[in-house]
């Protein structure tokens, strides 16, 4: 054979060896920890965005989930069962999410930790057909309706609920005067999720609020045009449904345009990342934050801080989304716990779903107690408001609860 | 390509046949047997992969006809997959018409829109045309994303699982047979296309379009028709995929998917329909393989912390590196590699 | 009226930056007839390298920018030497695919080196607003970006007109064989073109990061708009890049404000297709005459 073919043969055989070698690793399950229980592992599949459009918040969230699993296993697991977490980055690419889902489910995952609206939506029919309880980081209200998506859950206040809270607070602050509100949102399903419910709330409760929404296009270098339109609308409040980076850009633009509107952020842009990126422009931003920022003195952080001491860091350094991930996983394991207590050692998807629905008053400390029910799969219905003062979040109101 | 010595044909029919020797027929029979046995041996996860490969192959064959045989570069395949998918989803979910009608409409609409976006082919060639298809992809993707009417204001639109009579096709096993037959027909159609005058005209356009015009080939019309065929096949694949997945979201039809299809036909080997199938299989399999390698590294806890932490970056980078390395080693693709393998065994023990 | 002026200024500023981002693209195409889909990554790497030099290594900003430019040059040279040189003579589609694969590989490297967490904007760029013509408020970093872009373009134009290497590049772009006969090393010129493109990418990325208020992975998404610019201006014309960039920048701003945000996203691409139908080689591109 000539030189070229020989080189090719070498490369191919190397590839084959690597493939076989790694395939073997897959078959032998990872060595179990020293305090190996005799009970079967509970397999959990998870997908994270560590390299895609929402990687800035997806990375700390993923660490929260993984660290919680490590912590829980070190405490003996769920009723003696270790949690075996298989996860992978999917870069916010839906086909990748689907492939990973099929793979993990075929490998025996009982529950699935999802991430964004896109993949949660795309996987919805499969999740329902396979009866796999799916906990997402997407808080779209449609996912909380068991009639539409019986196996989807999320442990936070839905975007629509956060919007209602913001609108109610605005209305209360202005004692019924007519107020214009501009809503800037991510240019996707995630962004538009709370819009219609917000408009409906205004109509149903006869709030004196003018509501106009503006899309924050992806890849835009600035939002001056939209800000100009909001100025024409004479909006006094700007509510943002987006992640931290574009929201920070918006804040910087607002500062340079010398806008006087009050900026309010829903949960995915009210975090320390926003403060860091927007710098001085972040001052006075009001956030609807169902999960409290992990500053010193917040309850519910002791467990986390004890765990992180071994890694030489604190919850504050890890950030809000880390804590969010931690408690998301904690909620799921609580549901599994309930299912095992009720149905024995090998609960099915249906039973875990019932176990999750049984959760009521699950205390996290960083949020109101989380509750699910057979009619509503969102964990929270209330959220407090915080304001950025001197670069840090200060609570400005107790948890506000609104009815639909 | 000479397949064997001593094979003489006495009729035009035999001369045009797709297979010439008994050995070739035997190989074809083996392939058929393999295809029939496959679904019984694979588990659900890998079978779903095979289904994905079959779906991708349909669109890849279309793209091969356009790019490999007619020489027109198209970066818009994903957009037309989307056209087919959204059309059939809307027709079956909103109008409640049966699935075959939805799929047919998806195909036809994709072909029509493809013809429109193929019009620049009348004026420009080569890289300029590639950029024009890039623009088509951007426009289509933007429409999928920002046109509320398409999804009735929700996040996505559903597409029903197909049913034959009362039996609903839910499992990968059943889908495999349907897709096998469909892909078989498409591949067979593609190969046959190049036994016709139309197909030969397309090849002439690729090689020397000005000379082709001189000898009487209607270059403009055939170019647009080639676009229609390729985009129609992409729409067909997209529509089938929509029913396979039961939900249509816009994220699936972005640039990365278009590039993936182009990678399929290049890695498979430009200029042969079988290359399209090889490419589809390879490019669907490589990301899965890289994922598996990544998980293998994760499970085997001996991996250094750096690798585990940077795994997503490494996987992304690896994908690009695989494509680049493949093209550097064998720019003419898998079909050429296969051809060389066949030749080696045929000529052995001689060197040439 | 004020609004119109405001939009015009913003549009021109955006256009100048777009032109700079497109410059590298055009340079490579002009010299080597290759479409470089990895140009977006050049932008990102350039911006991140300057960030690295400035923030992580703590160098003063002029030095940091120099480091970034050198990194861009090295990157371009490496790509040309290691990858493109092997593909001489292969079909243009294969080359396109390689640049796409390269973009993916570079993305992985960027992710690995700097992570997904966005860094802030370059701190040495002036912030705040400047008032022009009375009422029109322009962000200072935009003005700065336009200024830099103008300087770069003038330098590039002078380079191509006056310097030996510039003239040699134009010769190679015109007719490779004739250039070789004159004693010009075509290989060297290709390497040069890629190096220049890398450097231009770095500067473009830096400017983008400053007006984007962020140095992050999303910078490469901006590179998509480069295509309408180069098609409108002509794939092998530097003057065309400037004019095309200005026109696209202006049109996008106007559409965003007077029509709608959605329309402003599609419009550049619709223009692209329209130009291809009407005047395929763009406003200033060289019309290719093909012979059989």
Nearest to B36 by CA among B168, B173, B162: B173
Of A68-72, C18-22, C38-42, C209-213, the range with the lowest mean pLDDT is C209-213
- Interchain pair B138, C270: CB under 8 A: no
pLDDT at B1: 46
- A–B CB contacts, 8 A cutoff, strictly below: 100
- Flag if B73 and C92 touch (Cβ within 8 Å): yes
pLDDT the model gives residue B186: 95
Q: Which residues in chain C (200-229) have CB-CB distances under 8 A to chain A?
A: 208, 211-214, 216-218, 221-222, 224-225
- Inform me whether the pLDDT recorded for C55 exceeds 60: yes
Which residue in C7, C127, C265 is closest to A217 by CB distance? Answer: C265
Provide, as residue numbers in chain A, all residues whose Cβ is less than 8 Å from the Cβ of B156. Answer: 121-122, 189
* Chain B residues inside the 8 Å CB shell of C281: 128
Is the confidence at residue B190, as pLDDT, over 50? yes
Contact B269, B278 (CB under 8 A): yes
Question: Which pLDDT score, from 0 to 100, does residue A6 have?
Answer: 62
Per-residue pLDDT band at A30 (split at 50, 70, 90): very low
In this predicted model, what pLDDT tens digit does every residue of B150-189 receive, in sequence order?
777 666 777 777 766 566 777 788 889 999 999 999 999 9
Is residue A26 scored above 50 in pLDDT? no
A53/B38: higher pLDDT: B38
| CB contact A222 to C (< 8 Å) | yes
Q: Which of C47, C261, C264, C267 to mutate to test the interface with A (most CBs of A within 10 A)?
A: C261
Whether residue C69 is contained in a domain is answered as: yes
How far C137 CA lies from chain B's nearest CA (Å)? 31
CB–CB of C224 and A219 under 8 A?
yes
What's the rounded mean pLDDT across residues B302-312?
Answer: 65
| Binary contact (B313, A51; C-beta < 8 A) | yes
Report chain A residues whose CB lies below 8 A from the CB of C116: 50-51, 55-56, 58-59
Q: Which of A61-75, A117-131, A212-226 has the lowest mean pLDDT?
A: A212-226
Q: Does residue C252 belong to any structural domain of this protein?
A: no
Q: Considering CB atoms only, which of A50, A224, A277 is closest to C118? A: A277
Q: Which of A104-108, A390-394, B201-205, B315-319 has the lowest mean pLDDT?
A: B315-319
For residues B298 and B318, give the distance between their C-alpha atoms in angstroms, rounded to a whole number: 16
Closest CA–CA distance from residue C137 to any residue of chain A (Å): 7
A218–chain B nearest CA distance, Å: 11
pLDDT (tens digit, 9 = 90+) per residue, B244-261?
A: 888 888 888 888 889 889
Q: Does residue B207 belong to the interface with chain C, where contact is any CB pair within 8 Å? A: no
Which residues on chain C are in Cβ contact (under 8 Å) with B60?
Answer: none
Percentage with pLDDT > 90 across chain A: 19
Mean pLDDT of C142-164: 86
Q: In percent, how much of chain B has pLDDT > 90? A: 35
Give the model's pLDDT for residue B289. 80
For residue A34, pLDDT beyond 50: no
Cβ–Cβ below 8 Å for B43 and A106: yes
CA distance A5 to chain C (A): 17
- B258 in contact with C, Cβ within 8 Å: no
d(CA B106, CA A234): 45
**Which pLDDT does position B239 carry in this prediction?**
93
Strands A134-135 and A111-113: parallel
Top residue of B67, B324, B325 to mutate, by most chain C CBs within 10 Å, is B324
CA distance A4 to chain C (A): 14
**pLDDT average, residue stretch B197-218:** 91
Least confident of A121-135, A325-339, A362-376, B138-152: B138-152
Confidence grade of residue A36 (pLDDT, cut at 50, 70, 90): very low
Measured between alpha carbons, how far is A364 from A155 in angstroms, rounded to an integer?
11
H/E element, B193: helix B172-193
- The verdict on a CB contact (< 8 Å) between A53 and C218 is yes
Q: What is the CATH number of domain B38-346?
A: 1.10.3470
Q: What is the pLDDT of residue B27?
A: 86
pLDDT recorded at residue B179: 92
Considering the domain boundaries, does residue C256 fall inside one?
no
- Per-residue confidence (pLDDT) for residue B307, from 0 to 100: 67
Write out chain A residues lying below 8 Å of B245, CB-based.
98, 122, 125
Q: For chain C, say whether B64 makes contact (Cβ under 8 Å).
A: no
Stretch A136-143: mean pLDDT, rounded? 88
Distance, CA of B123 to CA of B128 (rounded, Å):
10
Contacts of A among chains (3+ CB pairs under 8 A): B, C
The verdict on a CB contact (< 8 Å) between B317 and C35 is no
* CB proximity A242 to C under 8 Å: no
What pLDDT is stored for residue A61 in this prediction?
Answer: 92
Instruction: Tell me what pLDDT residue A219 has.
Output: 65
The confidence score (pLDDT) of residue A23 equals: 41
Asked if C208 and A273 come within 8 Å (Cβ–Cβ), the reply is no
Q: What is the pLDDT of residue C104?
A: 83
The answer to whether residue A307 scores a pLDDT higher than 80 is yes
Whole-complex ipTM: 0.81
Binned at pLDDT 50, 70 and 90, residue A64 comes out as very high
pLDDT band at residue B3, thresholds of 50, 70 and 90? low
Q: Please determine, for residue B303, whether its predicted confidence score (pLDDT) is greater than 60.
A: no
Mean per-residue pLDDT for C123-135?
68
Give the distance from residue B40's alpha carbon to the nearest chain C alpha carbon, in angstroms: 36
Residues of B in contact with C274 (CB under 8 A): none
Residues of chain B positioned with their CB less than 8 A from the CB of A21:
296
Tokens of C104: 């993916």
Q: Is C126 on the interface with A (CB under 8 A)?
A: no
pLDDT over threshold 90, residue A345 = no
**Average pLDDT score over residue span A31-37:** 43
A18 touches chain C (CB under 8 A): no
Subunits in contact with chain C (3 or more CB pairs closer than 8 Å): A, B
Do B155 and A30 make contact, defined as CB atoms within 8 angstroms?
no
Highest mean pLDDT among A234-238, B342-346, C60-64, C214-218: A234-238
Which percentage of chain C shows pLDDT scores above 70?
Answer: 90
Instruction: Give residue A11's pLDDT.
Output: 62
Choose the closest CB to B132 out of C97, C276, C290: C276
Q: What is the pLDDT of residue A189?
A: 76
b/e map A237-266, b = 16+ CB within 10 Å: bbbbbbbbbbbbbbbbbbbbbebebbbbbb
**pLDDT level of residue B105 (50, 70, 90 thresholds):** very high
**How many domains is chain C partitioned into structurally?**
1
Q: Per mean pLDDT, which of A173-182, A224-233, C112-121, C222-231 is the most reliable?
A: A173-182
**For position B181, what pLDDT does the model report?**
94
Q: Does the pLDDT at position B146 exceed 80?
A: no
Domain that holds residue C163: 13-223
- Give pLDDT tens digits for A87-120: 888 888 887 888 888 888 888 888 999 998 878 8
pLDDT in tens, B329-348: 888 889 988 888 888 888 88
In a domain, C57, yes or no: yes
pLDDT recorded at residue C217? 63
Q: B176 CA to chain A: closest CA distance, Å?
A: 16
Q: Which chain A positions have a beta carbon within 8 Å of B45's beta carbon?
A: 102-103, 106-107
User: So what's the pLDDT on residue B240?
Assistant: 92
């Amino acid at each position: 054979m000539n030189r070229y073919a020989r080189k090719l043969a070498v490369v191919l055989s190397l590839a084959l060896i690597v493939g076989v070698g790694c395939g073997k690793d897959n078959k032998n399950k990872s060595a179990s920890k020293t305090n190996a229980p005799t009970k079967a592992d509970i397999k959990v599949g998870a997908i994270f965005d560590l390299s895609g459009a929402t990687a800035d918040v997806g990375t700390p969230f993923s660490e929260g989930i993984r660290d919680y699993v490590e912590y829980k296993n070190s405490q003996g697991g769920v009723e003696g069962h270790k949690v075996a977490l298989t996860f992978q980055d999917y870069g916010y690419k839906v086909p990748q999410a689907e492939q990973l889902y099929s793979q993990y489910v075929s490998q025996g995952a009982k529950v699935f930790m999802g991430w964004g609206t896109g993949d949660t939506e795309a996987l919805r029919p499969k999740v329902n057909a396979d009866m796999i309880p799916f906990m997402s980081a997407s808080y779209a209200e449609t996912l909380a309706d068991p009639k539409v998506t019986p196996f989807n859950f999320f442990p936070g206040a839905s975007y629509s609920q956060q919007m209602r809270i913001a609108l109610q607070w605005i209305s209360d602050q202005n004692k019924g005067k007519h107020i214009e509100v501009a809503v800037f949102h991510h240019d996707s399903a995630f962004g538009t999720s709370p819009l219609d419910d917000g408009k409906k709330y205004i109509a149903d409760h006869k709030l004196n609020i003018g509501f106009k929404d503006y899309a924050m296009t992806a890849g835009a270098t600035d939002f001056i045009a939209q800000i100009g339109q909001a100025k024409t609308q004479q909006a006094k409040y700007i509510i943002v449904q987006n992640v931290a980076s574009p929201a920070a850009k918006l804040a910087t633009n607002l500062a340079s345009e010398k806008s006087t509107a009050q900026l309010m952020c829903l949960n995915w842009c009210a975090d320390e990342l926003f403060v860091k990126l927007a710098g001085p422009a972040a001052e006075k931003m009001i956030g609807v934050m169902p999960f409290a920022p992990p500053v010193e003195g917040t309850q519910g952080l002791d467990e986390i801080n004890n765990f992180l001491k071994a890694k030489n860091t604190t919850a504050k350094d890890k950030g809000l989304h880390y804590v969010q991930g931690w408690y998301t996983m904690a909620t799921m394991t609580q549901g599994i716990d309930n299912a095992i207590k009720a149905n024995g050692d090998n609960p099915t998807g249906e039973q875990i779903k019932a176990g999750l629905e049984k959760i009521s008053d699950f205390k996290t400390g960083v949020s109101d107690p989380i509750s699910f029910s057979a009619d509503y799969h969102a964990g929270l219905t209330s959220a407090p408001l915080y304001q950025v003062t001197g670069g840090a979040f200060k609570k400005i109101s107790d948890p506000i609860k609104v009815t639909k | 390509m000479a397949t064997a010595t001593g094979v003489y044909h006495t009729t035009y029919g035999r001369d045009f046949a797709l297979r010439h020797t008994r050995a070739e027929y035997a190989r074809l029979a083996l392939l058929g047997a393999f295809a029939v046995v496959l679904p019984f041996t694979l588990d659900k996860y890998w079978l779903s992969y095979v289904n994905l490969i079959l779906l991708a192959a349909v669109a890849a064959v279309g793209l091969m006809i356009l790019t490999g045989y007619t020489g027109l570069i198209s970066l818009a395949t994903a957009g037309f997959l989307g056209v087919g998918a959204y059309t059939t989803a809307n027709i079956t979910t909103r109008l409640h018409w049966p699935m075959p009608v939805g799929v047919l409409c998806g195909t036809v609409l994709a072909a029509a829109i493809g013809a429109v976006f193929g019009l620049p082919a009348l004026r420009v060639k080569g890289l300029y045309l590639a950029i024009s298809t890039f623009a088509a992809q951007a426009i289509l993707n933007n429409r999928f994303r920002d046109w509320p009417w398409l999804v009735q204001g929700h996040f996505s639109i559903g597409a029903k699982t197909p049913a034959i009579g009362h039996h609903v096709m839910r499992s990968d096993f059943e889908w495999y047979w349907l897709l096998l037959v469909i892909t078989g027909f498409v591949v067979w159609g593609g190969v046959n296309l190049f036994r016709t005058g139309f197909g030969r005209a397309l090849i002439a356009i690729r090689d020397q379009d000005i000379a082709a015009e001189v000898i009487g080939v209607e270059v403009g019309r055939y170019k647009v028709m080639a676009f229609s065929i390729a985009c129609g096949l992409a729409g067909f694949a997209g529509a089938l995929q929509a029913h396979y997945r039961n939900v249509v979201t816009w994220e699936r039809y972005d640039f990365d998917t278009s590039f993936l299809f182009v990678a399929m036909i290049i890695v498979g080997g430009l200029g042969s329909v079988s290359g399209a199938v090889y490419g589809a299989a390879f490019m669907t399999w490589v990301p899965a393989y890289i994922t598996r390698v990544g998980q293998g590294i994760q499970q085997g806890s001996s991996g250094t912390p750096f690798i585990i932490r940077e795994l997503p970056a490494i996987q992304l980078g690896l994908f690009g590196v695989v494509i680049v390395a493949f093209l550097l080693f064998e720019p003419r693709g898998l079909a050429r590699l296969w051809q060389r393998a066949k030749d080696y065994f045929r000529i052995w023990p001689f060197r040439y | 009226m004020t609004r119109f002026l405001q939009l015009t200024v913003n549009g021109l500023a955006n256009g100048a930056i777009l032109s700079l981002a497109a410059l590298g693209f055009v340079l490579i195409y002009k010299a080597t007839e290759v479409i470089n889909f990895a140009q977006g990554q050049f932008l990102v790497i350039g911006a991140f390298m300057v960030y690295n030099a400035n923030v992580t290594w703590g160098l003063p900003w002029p030095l940091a920018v120099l480091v970034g430019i050198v990194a861009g040059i090295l990157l371009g040279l490496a790509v040309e030497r290691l990858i493109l040189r092997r593909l001489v003579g292969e079909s243009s589609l294969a080359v396109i695919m390689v640049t796409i694969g390269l973009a993916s590989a570079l993305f992985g490297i960027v992710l690995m080196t700097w992570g997904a967490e966005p860094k802030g904007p370059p701190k040495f760029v002036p912030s705040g607003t400047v008032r022009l013509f009375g009422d029109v408020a322009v962000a200072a970093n935009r003005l700065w970006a336009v200024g830099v872009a103008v300087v770069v373009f003038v330098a590039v134009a002078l380079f191509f007109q006056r310097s030996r290497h510039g003239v040699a590049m134009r010769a190679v772009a015109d007719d490779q064989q004739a250039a070789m006969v004159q004693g010009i090393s075509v290989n060297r010129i290709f390497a040069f073109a890629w190096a220049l493109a890398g450097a231009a990418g770095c500067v473009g990325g830096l400017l983008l990061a400053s007006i984007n208020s962020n140095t992050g992975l999303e910078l490469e998404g901006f590179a998509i708009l480069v295509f309408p610019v180069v098609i409108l201006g002509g794939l092998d014309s530097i003057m065309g890049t400037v004019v095309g960039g200005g026109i696209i920048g202006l049109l996008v701003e106007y559409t965003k404000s007077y029509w709608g945000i959605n329309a402003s996203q599609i419009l550049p691409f619709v223009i692209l297709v329209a130009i291809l139908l009407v005047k395929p080689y763009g406003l200033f591109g060289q019309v290719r005459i093909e012979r059989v």
